[in-house]
Amino acid sequence: MNSNPTLISLENIAIQFPRQDGSGILEIVKGLSFSLPQGDIACLLGPSGCGKSTVLRAICGFEPLQMGDIKIHGKTVSSKNMRIPPADRKVGMVFQDFALFPHLTVLENVIFGLREGSISTRKQTGMQWLERVSLQDKAAAYPHELSGGQQQRVALARAMAPEPDLILLDEPFSNLDIDLRERLADEMRDILKANNVTALLVTHDQFEAFAIADHIGVMNNGKIVQWDSPYDLYHKPIDRYVAEFIGRGVFIQGQTQAGGEVVIELGNLQLDDGEHISPGKQIDVLLRADDIQHDDESPMQAEVVRKAFRGADFLYTLKLHSGQEVFAFVPSHHNHAIGEKIGIRLGADHVVTFKR
């Protein structure tokens, strides 16, 4: 856990807009709170319309608050009654479309926000940042001559060049090819960490969030449902919404029995806190695709209903004897036909359950 001081904190903020039809107030963000230590990377993760980009705009100073406070280094920059201008917040922004100036070279884009020093000093600073993102050889190029990933790194260098306290990233990978996203997320994390940059990302893509963030806040309907590490979000979801949103899984009925186990159609599972659960209770067990393993020797059979090729593996949708459908990742050299029955077994080593 990072013991560095808190760089930014949001305390019970609310953001509202009048409805377009004049019928009242639309609450976009509702009593949202979190804090981020210096040098850490966080992500607000949620579906479109959940309020995550509005939170980013409020941190920048573009949206007023109807309640709560935003503090940077302990200093209030936004509250119900005051709002420090965006230019005075020392916050950098990487936009979804990168927002590079097409008529400026890469170097000119990077130094655009620098206001202090001579032009030669600013160019020297710009080249230093281009070196940090491995684009020093593209300084004289124009944005249209770069790949999407290179444009993203230019936008990141431009945001970091003035050395802001905080970098905000709004869906930074959404305009990139899907096969580039994971690699570029790793690259971005490396760049941010190497420069001890504190950053807040918003995305609807959980895999991007897992690749880059130290902390993830899952949002729904204007609120953070769970703020946690990527590991704990996946393995310890706080409620059904988070469990369904994170990972691909289904809920399957189960019944507890003596010894801290739960019986489901696929077999018995040992509960982590089984000693605290009475036998005979009806519960729902979360089964994700990595909890079910292909096993030709298993007597448990399931019918292949759908399959999606993913390169190294297939994502199979399987129908159990009861009609319940589950998911399973199966190595791609096991290329079974739709309608074929295959052997499966439970491979879950951590069981997530919810009361029915």
Question: What is the DSSP annotation of 34-47?
Answer: EEEETT-EEEEE--
pLDDT in tens, 287-328: 999 999 999 999 999 999 999 998 899 999 999 999 999 999
pLDDT in tens, 241-272: 999 999 888 999 999 998 889 999 999 998 87
Q: What integer is the mean pLDDT of 193-215?
A: 93
Nearest partner of 62 among 83, 32, 82, 92, judged by Cα: 83
Q: What integer is the mean pLDDT of 158-168?
A: 93
**6-90+164-244: which CATH topology?**
Rossmann fold (3.40.50)
Longest dimension (CA), the chain: 76
- Sign of the CA dihedral 230, 192, 159, 173? negative
pLDDT on residue 274: 59
Which of 131-140, 180-189, 259-268 is predicted with the least confidence, judged by mean pLDDT? 180-189
Contact 55, 44 (CB under 8 A): yes
For the entire predicted model, the pTM comes to 0.87
Is pLDDT of 76 > 80?
Answer: yes
Q: What integer is the mean pLDDT of 199-223?
A: 95
Is pLDDT of 276 > 70?
Answer: no
Q: 347 or 7, which is more confident?
A: 7
Contact 68, 14 (CB under 8 A): yes
Q: What integer is the mean pLDDT of 228-249?
A: 93
Q: What integer is the mean pLDDT of 217-236?
A: 96
User: Phi-psi region for residue 53, left (φ > 0), alpha (ψ -120 to 50) or beta?
Assistant: alpha
Average pLDDT, the chain: 92
Provide the pLDDT confidence category of residue 82 given band limits of 50, 70 and 90: very high
Q: 324 or 19, which is more confident?
A: 324
Q: What's the CATH superfamily of 248-355?
A: Nucleic acid-binding proteins (2.40.50.140)
pLDDT on residue 2: 67
pLDDT on residue 23: 84
**H or E element: which one contains 25?**
strand 25-37
Provide the pLDDT confidence category of residue 1 given band limits of 50, 70 and 90: low
pLDDT on residue 166: 96
**CB-based burial, 308-325: b 16+ in 10 Å, e otherwise:** eeeeebbebbbbbeeebe
Interhelix angle 119-132/148-160, nearest 10 degrees: 130
Domain boundaries, the chain: 6-90+164-244, 248-355
Residues sharing a CB contact under 8 Å with residue 178, sequence separation 6 or more, in sequence order:
none
For 182-297, where are the E strands, in sequence order? 199-203, 215-220, 223-228, 249-257, 261-264, 267-270, 282-288, 292-294
Residues sharing a CB contact under 8 Å with residue 87, sequence separation 6 or more, in sequence order:
none
